[in-house]
């Protein structure tokens, strides 16, 4: 099988951040950086979706607030601008984990809040005139082996124990699944309506413009190297503020004192050229459903508004010392595996479908794989993050929650179980490098094992606690 993307050639597309950055109409010239010390009511570190949603809802609630957002690169540079484009109700911690942090009602309240957040993102984007190519078609997750079908059935059975009905999560038979998405070897699927395909760079860049219209100041190319009570430190000056919010996700380890708070793990993505109507008739996704399958090593995809197929997955190595580097965005072996997986799923793409973009980026993972949001009232330091790749919607919930915490409101949002949660620190090196990369390798082998035996993998059971 010939690959239409030469992984060794120097294609200018490979020098770009992502398909999304290429196809959003915006001026990418950096906003003015910080020049000297300044004061604010709220300083937010990071101009991704977490920081911008927080600024948006705070400025909406209290226009008198002086809000300053500090960004090391440009707004939307990181995962917020180059993810797979799923705005979903997925939360990285299970309902049983959330119940252990609070109770059953609290866990279900968190789940309801996530479902409602998908619609809130759409509402807020529309209110601000942000056309982010949003289509709420839901998510289909294929089962392509007996082992995967067992996991699908188990997931739905577990959902029923939480009173989650078919309007929340459904088990599809083979014919029902293939009516939505015609992946090879499909024997069933799960489906949830709670996801929208989205153009993430259009969302985050539109949101940056929206907060500026509300009087928020964004300083780009202004790298914060440390956060302290009442202060964000940069090489160009300090921002003094009674509240300082950390919204740095996959780049958290670059902050002094946060080296083990969150690890950056790279997820890589490829995108095809726009596909013909006849090709899409063979594949499906008529309502732009997002899709995955029930393998162990995560893959994800969507049909874009201009009829491309975007497909990504895990598998890139974790880099020693939680390092991030633009060079890590490109891993030719992972791109080749993604392409091979895509052809295995959809043979209609074989024989010349061109891959026009390939990129990657770091997402943030806390040690217990549980996202959190909070504000320490004694120090005035707040935080949100640890989305484990499910951040397009969760950032919005975080922004609304931080608004209420900063304004000292007691609301349903501030009583959710993830509020105030503190994840333990990751192990010191080299233990985390060895453990994480061994776990990623084990999940790859587990999928290969199941493709042969058609039985659930024992290796996956052993390493799944490490990999969430």
Rounded CA separation 97/264 (Å) = 23
Whether the ω angle into residue 157 lies within 30 degrees of 0, i.e. cis, is no
Q: Tell which phi-psi region holds residue 163, choosing left (phi > 0), alpha (psi between -120 and 50) or beta.
A: left
Residue 185 near residue 295, CB atoms below 8 Å: no
Q: Cβ–Cβ contacts within 10 Å for residue 6, how many?
A: 11
* DSSP letter assigned to residue 299: E
- Walk me through the domains of the chain, giving residue ranges and CATH numbers: 20-120+200-262+367-415 (3.50.50.60), 139-192+266-360 (3.30.9.10)
| Residue 192 phi, psi dihedral angles, 5° rounding | -130, 140
Nearest partner of 394 among 43, 153, 87, judged by Cα: 87
Give the position of tokens 């990657």: 360
Rg of the chain over Cα atoms, rounded to whole angstroms, equals 21
Rounded CA separation 53/214 (Å) = 12
Predicted structure pTM score: 0.94
Dump pLDDT digits (tens) for 116-164.
999 999 999 999 999 999 999 999 999 999 999 999 999 999 999 999 9
pLDDT of residue 17: 87
Residue 375 near residue 405, CB atoms below 8 Å: yes
Rounded CA separation 120/194 (Å) = 12
pLDDT of residue 10: 40
Cα atoms in the Cβ-side hemisphere of radius 13 Å centred on 127: 12
pLDDT of residue 451: 63
Q: Where are the beta strands (DSSP E) in 314-401?
A: 355-365, 372-376, 381-385
Q: Which positions of the chain have pLDDT values less than 70?
A: 1-16, 446-468
pLDDT of residue 268: 96
Residues in the chain: 468
């Amino acid at each position: 099988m010939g690959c239409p993307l030469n992984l060794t050639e120097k294609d200018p597309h490979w020098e770009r951040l992502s398909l999304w950055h290429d196809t959003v109409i915006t001026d990418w010239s950096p906003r003015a950086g910080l020049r000297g010390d300044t004061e604010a009511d709220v300083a937010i570190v990071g101009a991704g979706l977490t920081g911008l949603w927080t600024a948006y809802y705070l400025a909406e609630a209290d226009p008198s607030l002086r809000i300053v957002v500090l960004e090391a690169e440009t707004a939307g540079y990181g995962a917020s601008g180059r993810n797979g484009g799923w705005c979903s109700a997925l939360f990285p911690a299970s309902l049983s984990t959330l119940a252990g942090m609070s109770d059953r009602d609290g866990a279900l309240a968190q789940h309801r809040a996530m479902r409602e957040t998908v619609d809130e993102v759409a509402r807020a984007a529309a209110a601000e005139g942000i056309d982010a190519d949003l289509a709420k078609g839901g998510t289909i997750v294929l089962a392509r082996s007996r082992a995967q079908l067992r996991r699908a059935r188990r997931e739905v059975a577990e959902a029923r124990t939480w009173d989650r009905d078919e309007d929340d999560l459904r088990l599809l038979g083979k014919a029902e699944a293939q009516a939505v998405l015609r992946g090879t070897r499909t024997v069933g699927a799960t489906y949830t309506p709670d996801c929208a395909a989205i153009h993430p760079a259009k969302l985050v860049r539109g949101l940056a413009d929206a907060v500026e219209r509300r009087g928020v100041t964004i300083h780009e190319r202004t790298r914060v190297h440390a956060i302290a009570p009442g202060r964000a430190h940069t090489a160009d000056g300090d921002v003094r503020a009674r509240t300082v919010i950390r919204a740095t996700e996959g780049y958290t380890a670059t902050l002094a004192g946060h080296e083990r708070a969150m690890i950056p793990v790279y997820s890589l993505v490829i995108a095809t050229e726009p596909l013909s109507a006849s090709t899409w008739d063979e594949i499906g996704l008529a309502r732009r459903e997002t899709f995955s399958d029930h393998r162990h090593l995560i893959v994800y995809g969507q049909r874009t508004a201009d009829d491309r197929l975007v497909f990504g997955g895990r598998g890139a190595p974790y880099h020693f010392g939680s390092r991030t580097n633009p060079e890590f965005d490109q891993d030719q072996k992972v791109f080749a595996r993604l392409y091979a997986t895509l052809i295995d799923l959809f043979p209609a793409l074989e024989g010349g479908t061109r891959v026009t973009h390939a990129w990657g980026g770091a997402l943030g993972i806390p040690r217990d794989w549980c996202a959190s949001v909070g504000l320490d009232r004694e120090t005035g330091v707040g935080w949100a993050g640890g989305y484990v790749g499910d951040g397009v919607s969760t950032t919005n919930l975080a922004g609304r929650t931080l608004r209420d915490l900063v304004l000292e409101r007691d609301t349903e949002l501030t009583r959710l179980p993830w509020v105030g949660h503190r994840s333990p620190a990751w192990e010191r090196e080299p233990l985390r490098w060895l453990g994480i990369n061994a776990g990623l390798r084990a999940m790859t082998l587990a999928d290969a094992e199941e493709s042969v035996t058609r039985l659930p993998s024992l290796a996956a059971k052993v390493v799944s606690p490490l990999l969430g």
